[in-house]
Amino acid sequence: MSFENIIFEIDGAIAVIRFNRPKALNAINPDVLKEVNQAMDQVEANSGVKVLILTGEGDKAFVAGADIAHMVNLTPLQGRKFSRDGQELMFRLEALPIPVIACVNGFALGGGTEIAMACDFIYASENAKFGQPEINLGIIPGFGGTQRLARLVGKAMARELCMTGAMISAAEAKEIGLVNKVFPPDQLWEETMKTARVLASKGKVSMKAVKQCINRGYEVDLRSGCYMEADGFAVCITSPDQREGMTAFLEKRKPEFKGELS
């Protein structure tokens, strides 16, 4: 399948989606949302893929936001649909049973920050910029920004960023807990791939369980979250990867995880 707005590649166990609208700084419109969903269909259908990376083509932008040219004349119903379509893509990224890394190589504003937050964690270039500037356009974040930002950095900081529309550096984003790691621009991709290769070497069943337990457990009380963890632990115990991992440990060798999710 060919795409016009993204570049989609699979290299062994690692899939990569690159937002590719350079003239619009990779801004999001319905066509982009559709193509990312189509790429994710291929990721889900390929049992060999164990990690997904999202990044922007070029060095100027990850995603500079939603496409204002698309939004300017939307009716309320059209606006709600665009918002909900974006939100559903974010939920899908969160629910993907493999790790998803945001490799932020430039501007990640508005929808760009929202996409990055829906990934499992964010690696950023020193040149990257983050923010929710929708207030400057007379609107609010629509792809989950008011909700995920508050959960990641706290309500007060989320209110400040969403109310002022301020743009912050990668260093500040790391300081407030939005970004995991910051690298020089020429090292960002290799460092992201280094982590992706580590993740790809792990078992798929246990990786899915970690992701589900943290994401779902965060929304419930501690005891309920721990019960989820016990269920996830039990599922892992039945996986071929558990036998391989523990046998490899006892035999003092590196494990070769080949277990599947079904």
Active site residues: 114, 134
Measured CA to CA, the distance from residue 4 to residue 230 in angstroms comes to 44
CA gyration radius, the chain: 19
The answer to whether 109 and 64 are in contact (CB under 8 A) is yes
The answer to whether 240 and 204 are in contact (CB under 8 A) is no
Using alpha carbons, list the distances in angstroms from residue 226 to 162, 214, 216, 220, 242.
Answer: 33, 10, 11, 10, 20
Looking at the DSSP bridge assignments, the partners of residue 183 are: 125
Measured CA to CA, the distance from residue 138 to residue 158 in angstroms comes to 17
Q: Among the residues of the chain, which ranges form H helices?
A: 30-45, 68-71, 76-95, 111-118, 145-153, 155-164, 170-175, 188-200, 204-217, 222-237, 240-250
Measured CA to CA, the distance from residue 91 to residue 21 in angstroms comes to 23
Measured CA to CA, the distance from residue 215 to residue 91 in angstroms comes to 11
Measured CA to CA, the distance from residue 6 to residue 28 in angstroms comes to 11
Using alpha carbons, list the distances in angstroms from residue 251 to 36, 244, 245.
Answer: 43, 10, 10
